[in-house]
C-alpha cells in the first residue's frame, strides 16, 4: 500500500510539473473603443458605415447582429471585407487588433452628440471615442476637454471657435482626421465628363459642410478638365442641389428625378444615405440601358448589392474605415498623438473605384484619368477645394 501511494504521489507530481511547463495562453485585456455616428446612422451605406467597418470589422473582427450585439467573424469574411472595400490598401497591412470591444451609439439628432460622447467616456469607460463627422466637432471638443483621460478621434473636422471660426487650441487627447475629397471628386468628375452623352451632369449634396463642398469643387473641376461643354460657363450647365440632410433618401430620389428630367445622364451624390435615393431614381428611369449612371461616394458603392451596382459608373472613395482602424491601432500601440492628419491620393486615403468605367470609357480615356491621378500626386496641379473658385480655376490641358 505504501509503495502504491508513493507511485501515485510521483505521478501526481510529474503531472503538475508537465502541466506547469505548458505555454500559458496570452492574456488579452479588453480595450473598449466607442463610436458615435452622425444622424445618418448605421446603414447609411456610406460615411457612417465606413467608420463602423474600421472599428467593428477591421479592428475588432466582429460581425454586427441586427438589433444589437456581435458575433465573431470568420477569417474568410474578414478577408472578403478587405478585398471588397480596400483593394487599394493591400500595402497597409490591415489586420485585427486583439482585445478590441466596440461600443456604438447612434445619433438620431444633433442634441444626441454630447450625451452620447459623454456616456462612452464615463459610463462605458472607453479608451478612445470616435466621433463621425463634421457636425460633431463642437460636441467632441467640449467632451474631450472635460475628459482628459479619454482619447478622442474626430473625423472630417478641426474644432473651431463658433464666432471667429479660427481653429481652437489642440487638446492633447484629440486627433483630427481630414481627407482631400477634392482629389477623388476631381477624378470622378473627369470620368463623368468623358462618360456623358448629353453633356448634362448633376451634383447632389447632403449638407454644405466643408468635406461635401470639397467633393463638389473637385467634381466640377474634373468636368471642366475633360468636358468644357458639359461644364458650361462658370459651371452653370451643371444642376447643383443640396438636400439639407444626410439621411433623407426620398429627398435624394426627388432631386435626382428632377435632374434626370432635365436630361442629365450622369449624377453624383455626396450626401450619405440621402444619395441612396439617387440610385433608386436612376434604376427606375432605366439605368444604363437608357445611358444613365450614378456615381457613388465615400465607399465603393458599386460593390453594394443593396444599392445599384449595375448602374454605378464609379465611386469617389474616401477611406474613413482605414483612418478609424489607424487611430485605434495607435491607441493600442501607444503611439496616439494629438495632431491633424490629412489623407490623400498619396497615402491611399482617397481614390476612385473601377466599377463600370471600362464599359463606358475608352482605354485612352481611362489612361488619361490615371495620368491625372499621377499628376495630382506629383503636384503638377492642385484641384480646387472651394466651389466658388472653380470658375476662375485653370484646368490642365490635353485631356
Kindly state whether residue 308 falls inside one of the protein's structural domains: yes
Q: How many domains does the chain have?
A: 2
Longest dimension (CA), the chain: 106
Whether residues 66 and 207 fall in one domain: no
Q: Which three cell numbers stand for residue 67?
A: 438589433
Give residue 173's domain range. Answer: 31-179
- Torsion angle defined by CA atoms of residues 74, 71, 52 and 38, in that order, rounded to the nearest 10 degrees: 160
Q: What is the spatial order of strands in the sheet that 201-205 belongs to?
A: 240-242, 201-205, 266-270, 293-298, 312-318, 350-352
Which CATH number belongs to the domain containing residue 293 in this structure? Answer: 3.40.50.2300
Confidence at residue 162, expressed as pLDDT on a 0 to 100 scale: 83
Confidence at residue 29, expressed as pLDDT on a 0 to 100 scale: 82
Confidence at residue 24, expressed as pLDDT on a 0 to 100 scale: 55
Write out residues in the chain with pLDDT < 70, as ranges.
1-28
Whether residues 215 and 303 fall in one domain: yes
pTM: 0.89
- For residue 59, give the DSSP letter: I
Kindly state whether residue 327 falls inside one of the protein's structural domains: no
Last residue of a domain, one of 126, 158, 179: 179
Nearest to 354 by CA among 307, 317, 391, 387: 317
Whether residues 192 and 205 fall in one domain: yes
Confidence at residue 25, expressed as pLDDT on a 0 to 100 scale: 53
Kindly state whether residue 324 falls inside one of the protein's structural domains: no
Whether residues 57 and 152 fall in one domain: yes
Mean pLDDT of the chain: 93
Whether residues 219 and 195 fall in one domain: yes
Whether residues 312 and 257 fall in one domain: yes
Kindly state whether residue 129 falls inside one of the protein's structural domains: yes
Tell me how far the alpha carbon of residue 176 is from its chain's centroid: 14
Whether residues 69 and 158 fall in one domain: yes
Kindly state whether residue 111 falls inside one of the protein's structural domains: yes
Whether residues 195 and 160 fall in one domain: no
Whether residues 294 and 191 fall in one domain: yes
Whether residues 292 and 185 fall in one domain: yes
Confidence at residue 163, expressed as pLDDT on a 0 to 100 scale: 85
Kindly state whether residue 8 falls inside one of the protein's structural domains: no
Give the integer Cα–Cα distance in Å for 181 and 177. Answer: 12
Kindly state whether residue 328 falls inside one of the protein's structural domains: no
Whether residues 260 and 170 fall in one domain: no
Last residue of a domain, one of 121, 146, 179: 179
Long-range contacts of 107-115 (CB under 8 A, 24+ apart): 107/36, 107/37, 107/38, 107/39, 107/41, 107/136, 108/39, 108/41, 109/39, 110/39, 110/135, 113/36, 113/139, 113/140, 114/139, 114/142, 114/143
Whether residues 161 and 249 fall in one domain: no
Kindly state whether residue 337 falls inside one of the protein's structural domains: no
Last residue of a domain, one of 144, 179, 214: 179
* Triad 146, 150, 155: Cα angle to 5°: 90
Convert the pLDDT of each residue in 168-185 to its tens digit. 999 999 999 999 999 999
Amino acid at each position: 500500500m505504501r509503495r502504491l501511494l508513493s507511485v501515485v504521489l510521483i505521478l501526481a507530481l510529474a503531472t503538475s510539473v508537465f502541466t506547469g511547463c505548458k505555454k500559458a495562453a496570452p492574456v488579452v485585456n479588453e480595450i473598449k473603443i466607442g463610436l458615435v455616428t452622425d444622424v445618418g446612422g448605421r446603414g447609411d451605406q456610406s460615411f457612417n458605415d465606413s467608420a463602423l467597418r474600421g472599428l467593428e470589422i477591421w479592428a475588432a473582427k466582429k460581425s454586427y447582429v441586427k438589433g444589437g450585439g456581435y458575433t465573431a467573424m470568420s477569417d474568410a469574411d474578414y478577408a472578403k471585407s478587405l478585398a471588397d472595400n480596400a483593394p487599394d490598401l493591400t500595402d497597409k497591412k490591415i489586420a485585427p487588433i486583439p482585445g478590441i470591444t466596440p461600443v456604438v451609439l447612434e445619433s438620431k439628432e444633433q442634441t444626441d452628440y454630447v450625451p452620447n460622447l459623454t456616456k462612452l467616456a464615463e459610463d462605458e469607460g472607453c479608451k478612445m471615442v470616435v466621433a463621425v463627422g463634421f457636425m460633431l466637432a463642437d460636441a467632441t471638443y467640449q467632451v474631450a476637454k472635460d475628459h482628459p483621460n479619454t482619447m478622442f478621434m474626430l473625423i472630417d473636422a478641426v474644432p473651431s471657435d463658433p464666432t471667429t471660426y479660427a481653429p481652437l487650441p489642440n487638446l492633447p487627447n484629440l486627433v483630427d482626421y481630414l481627407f482631400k475629397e477634392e482629389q477623388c471628386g476631381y477624378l470622378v468628375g473627369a470620368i463623368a465628363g468623358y462618360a456623358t452623352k448629353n453633356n448634362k451632369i448633376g451634383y447632389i449634396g447632403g449638407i454644405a459642410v466643408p468635406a461635401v463642398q470639397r467633393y463638389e469643387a473637385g467634381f466640377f473641376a474634373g468636368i471642366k478638365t475633360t468636358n468644357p461643354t458639359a461644364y458650361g460657363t462658370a459651371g452653370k450647365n451643371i444642376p447643383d442641389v443640396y438636400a439639407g440632410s444626410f439621411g433623407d433618401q426620398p429627398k435624394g430620389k426627388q432631386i435626382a428625378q428632377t435632374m434626370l428630367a432635365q436630361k442629365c445622364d450622369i449624377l453624383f451624390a455626396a450626401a450619405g444615405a440621402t444619395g441612396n435615393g439617387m440610385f433608386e431614381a436612376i434604376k427606375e428611369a432605366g439605368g444604363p440601358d437608357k445611358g444613365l449612371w450614378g456615381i457613388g461616394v465615400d465607399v465603393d458603392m458599386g460593390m453594394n448589392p443593396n444599392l445599384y451596382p449595375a448602374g454605378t459608373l464609379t465611386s469617389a472613395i474616401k477611406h474613413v474605415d482605414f483612418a478609424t482602424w489607424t487611430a485605434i491601432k495607435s491607441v493600442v500601440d501607444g503611439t496616439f498623438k494629438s495632431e491633424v492628419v490629412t489623407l490623400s491620393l498619396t497615402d491611399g486615403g482617397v481614390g476612385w473605384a473601377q466599377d463600370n468605367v471600362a464599359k463606358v470609357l475608352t482605354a485612352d480615356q481611362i489612361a488619361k484619368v490615371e495620368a491625372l491621378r499621377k499628376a495630382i500626386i506629383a503636384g503638377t496641379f492642385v484641384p480646387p477645394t472651394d466651389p466658388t473658385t472653380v470658375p476662375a480655376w485653370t484646368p490642365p490641358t490635353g485631356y
